Amino acid sequence: METADRLVPALELRGISKKFGRVTALEGVDLTARSGEILAIVGDNGAGKSTLIKAISGIYRPDDGEILVDGQSSTFTSPADARAAGIATVFQDLALVECLDVSTNMFIGQLPKKGWFVDRKRMDAESRRFLDELKVTVADVHTQIGMLSGGQRQIIAIARAVRAGARTVLLDEPTAALGVRETKHAADIITALREAGNAVIVVSHDIEFVFAFADRIQVMRLGRVAGVRKTAETTREEIISLITGTKQEATA
């Protein structure tokens, strides 16, 4: 990791603050996300995790602070701005079109044309290739999204984000509504995204999932960063004590 540490981060936040009326949702939040790394964001309900994801993805405009993409200071006034900067967000409500099939959903907004017509063959072949690359097992790219399970939809949404050229992928609670098999699948996809050189930021309440897959863990508490740890150098006890704000006992 030493060489990666010296590279310019794919995404960096410095002193991000966000208030909703009198509620301070974020206060002076720093964050660093690197290519080829999974950063988990954990914290209690209301700690500011979703607000942080929304500030990065252009849904909320921070009141204060700076966002740097590949070392360049950036301002996002809309989700489209963030997408154009290579930041893709997968929310729990996935914004896929239920009545359209897998491959059309993958290409929404950028349908390939052949003369006047949609180039269906190219679209299907490219969808297949992207799904294969991510090791996604969808039998037929003509399957309507409405026929897929929650987990399969999630995976299509991630694949679409990657196809659209994202280099930083944000996921808010990707495993919250998933079964055991689907959680494993989502984990495989997240790992594939990392291996493809993306920076992956994942909000999760699932401490076992976090310890199994994250390279680093950032703990949020009451809108502030309570700590950042390398997964290999911390314990569940330490992370939980950072989440709850209790002091860690010196005894074993």
Chain positions contacting ligand ATP, by CB under 6 A? 20, 23, 25, 43, 45-51
Interface with Mg ion includes 89 (CB under 5 A)?
no
Cβ nearer to Mg ion, comparing 134 with 225: 225
3-state secondary structure 151-200: HHHHHHHHHHHHHCCCCEEEEECCCCCCCHHHHHHHHHHHHHHHHCCCEE
| Alpha helices by DSSP H, the chain | 2-6, 49-56, 79-84, 102-107, 120-133, 150-163, 180-195, 207-213, 236-244
DSSP assignment of 134-150 equals: TT---S-TTSBGGGS-H
- Burial of 214-228, coded b for 16+ CB within 10 Å and e otherwise, reads bbbbbbbbebbbbeb
Instruction: Choose which of 32, 35, 50, 154 interacts with Mg ion (CB under 5 A).
Output: 50
Q: What Rg value do the Cα atoms of the chain yield, rounded? A: 19
Supply 251's token pair.
Answer: 């005894």
d(CA 118, CA 248): 60
Partner interacting with residue 86 (select from Mg ion, ligand ATP, none; CB below 5-8 Å by kind): none
Residue 136 or 242: the one with the smaller Cβ distance to ligand ATP is 242
Q: Which of ligand ATP, Mg ion, none does 162 bind, CB closer than 5 to 8 A by kind?
A: none
CB 145 to ligand ATP: min, Å = 25
Which of 6-14, 50-58, 216-224, 235-243 is the region at the interface with Mg ion (rule: CB under 5 A)?
50-58
Q: How far apart are CA 96 and CA 89, in angstroms?
A: 13
State the minimum distance, in angstroms, from the CB of residue 134 to ligand ATP.
Answer: 26
Question: Which CB atom, from 49 or from 153, has the smaller least distance to Mg ion?
Answer: 49
- 50 vs 103, beta carbon nearer Mg ion: 50
Of 42-50, 62-70, 80-88, 222-230, which segment contacts Mg ion by CB under 5 A? 42-50
d(CA 66, CA 152): 35
CB of 180 to ligand ATP, least distance (A): 22
Least spacing, CB of residue 239 vs Mg ion, in Å: 17
Q: Which stretch binds Mg ion (CB under 5 A): 14-22, 44-52, 84-92, 131-139?
A: 44-52
**Which residues here bind Mg ion, judged by CB under 5 A?**
49-50
